[in-house]
Each structure stands twice: as C-alpha cells, then as structure tokens.
Amino acid sequence: MTIPHVGPPVDAQTIDDAEAHLRERGMRVSTARRLLLETLFAAERPLSAEQIAAGLDGRLPRSDLASVYRNLEALEQVGLVRHFHLGHGPGLYALASRQTQELLVCERCDAVLAVDPGELDPVRERIRADFDFEARFVHFPIVGLCARCASAPAEAGEADR
C-alpha cells in the first residue's frame, strides 16, 4: 500500500471550518464528504473506516466502505484528517485538529500513552544525528512495553504474537 501524500494539518474546529477549507482547495463538499465530516466530528475517538461506514453504531447513516476510503484519503491529502495504526489493528482515522499528540503503545497490554510531539524531539534529533534519518511517529506510534509490563515477568506464549 502506498502512503498517500499528507497535507500539513489543518486546525478545523467545526464542520463549517472544514467545509470552507475544502472549498478553498477547490474540492466539492458532496453529501458523502459532509456525512464523513459529521461522523468524524461526532466521534469520541479515532475510528476505523469500517466503523465510519457503519455510521457510528447506527447514530448516523451507513456509507459505502469504498467511498469512505476514497473520501478519507481526499480529506487526508488536504490536511483535515490523519490516520495511524495501533499495533496490528486497522488504520484509525481522526480529525487532524484533534490528533495532535504522538503515541507510545504497549504491545503486551495495548496501553496507549499520548505525548506532545516536542517531548519526542530529542529522540528525533538523536536519530537524525546518528543515522541521517527523519524519524516520524505519527503514522506508526512507538511500540514497546509500558512501565508495568516491562517490570512484570514475560507471559507464556508472548513470543508467538
């Protein structure tokens, strides 16, 4: 799968803001895109495309999954939406205005630690200096063990996961 071009994040606080941004970029505000924005603004947490297509457990109308993917990609390209992956799970989509923190995920208990990007800048600087590589933790969070799991004995069978 290719990684789509992602625009700089747009700080849209309302559906009107988001629609105005789409129009500025010459993009049509179709019924499907409006419903997608309504879903993302109504969501309490990042959602998979399947959850979006299902209409937030029936709170909103259902959508066609292929069109949800296409419109998510379009909104991501203009910076309104971001997606990331938690472990082996599907991509999770959220408004870029809400998804401003970077994540550390425990691969044993699935605990998620959200940190401000500035807190990871020293890590990025070190990787840049040592390996001439720009590390990014937005698309794939840092995976490891939380403090509780790191101090607990390994569970049987964990190597199989």
Yes or no: say if 73 and 91 are a contact pair by the CB < 8 Å rule: no
Instruction: Tell me: does residue 111 bind Zn ion (CB under 5 A).
Output: yes
Q: Cβ closer to Zn ion: 62 or 148?
A: 148
Instruction: Tell me: does residue 143 bind Zn ion (CB under 5 A).
Output: no
Instruction: Tell me: does residue 106 bind Zn ion (CB under 5 A).
Output: yes
Across the chain, the runs of DSSP E, i.e. the strands, are 81-85, 91-95, 102-106, 112-115, 142-144
Stretch that binds Zn ion, among 24-32, 46-54, 74-82, 104-112 (CB under 5 A): 104-112
Whole-number minimum distance, CB 144 to Zn ion, in Å? 9
Q: Cβ closer to Zn ion: 126 or 148?
A: 148
Looking at the DSSP bridge assignments, the partners of residue 114 are 103
Q: Which residues, numbered 26-85, are part of the site for Zn ion (CB under 5 A)?
A: none
Instruction: Tell me: does residue 115 bind Zn ion (CB under 5 A).
Output: no
The letter for the amino acid at 13 is Q
Instruction: Tell me: does residue 109 bind Zn ion (CB under 5 A).
Output: yes
Instruction: Tell me: does residue 154 bind Zn ion (CB under 5 A).
Output: no
The structure tokens listed for 134 are: 């720009």
Instruction: Tell me: does residue 25 bind Zn ion (CB under 5 A).
Output: no
Task: Write the secondary structure of 61-94 as one string of H (helix), E (strand) and C (coil).
Answer: CCCCHHHHHHHHHHHHHCCCEEEEECCCCCEEEE
Look up tokens 């049509």; give the residue. Answer: 28
Instruction: Tell me: does residue 94 bind Zn ion (CB under 5 A).
Output: no
